[in-house]
Structure 1
């Protein structure tokens, strides 16, 4: 890691020296900041994104179609979950359920790698 940092600093020094020799010091500073920002973004995850379910286990995030093989779900999003249990004396079930994800649902998505995304939660507008 230290070796890579030393190479990076050496390259910046060369870039900076060439710019200063041309009298273009402002661009050298801008280049330095631009390189630092790009390097910082490269190792940081994108964070949470908003996706739209295109099926019960498929999703679209910023124009990228993700299949079931690309996705990991919280269990309560793919199975019906009882929110209130109401069973009458005759045995009939009047319980209330949260339904599993379906086409058109908005979801919070987190990218974990180039080929793996987590579906964290269903999002709703109020």
Structure 2
């Protein structure tokens, strides 16, 4: 009976791993177009970055007074930013979003 139970648990683990989608991990930007996950460094063809994270993006529009732009903008990615990444293949990762700690 114990062998049957162990085989059943092993089968559940294997099926769970096979049907599980890619995991989301945190990475730290080392520059505007490079990051690292632990000791793994990613850049160039290894990394897909949404274009909205590469340049300033308007986050709030305010009516300008005296031709002065009073709108708010999020900055492009920079070294030290934390991002959520998803593994696409053995060598390619996609940056999903910049994230901040809730603490």
Q: TM-score, length-normalised on structure 2?
A: 0.77
**Shift, 1:72, TM fit:** 1.3
Provide closer, same or farther for how the CA distance between residues 32 and 62 of structure 1 changes in structure 2, counting only shifts above 3 A. farther
Q: Deviations over 1:18-64 (max 9, x none)?
A: xxxxxxx5245314432441354145333211111111111112332
Q: Which residue of 1 aligns with 2:39?
A: 63
SS for the counterpart of 1:33 is: helix
**Shift, 1:103, TM fit:** 0.8
Q: Which residue of 1 aligns with 2:81?
A: 105
More relative contact order, 1 or 2 (CA 8 Å, 6+ apart): 2
Indicate if the aligned counterparts of 1:50 and 1:106 stay in contact, CA closer than 8 A: yes
Find 2:71's aligned residue among 95, 99, 106.
Answer: 95
Q: Deviations over 1:58-98 (max 9, x none)?
A: 11123321113111122211111122345442x44443210
Whole-angstrom CA distance in 2 between matches of 1:125 and 1:44: 26
Whole-angstrom CA distance in 2 between matches of 1:38 and 1:65: 29
Task: Say what the alpha-carbon RMSD is for the aligned residues.
Answer: 2.3
Q: TM-score, length-normalised on structure 1?
A: 0.65
Q: Which residue of 1 aligns with 2:27?
A: 51
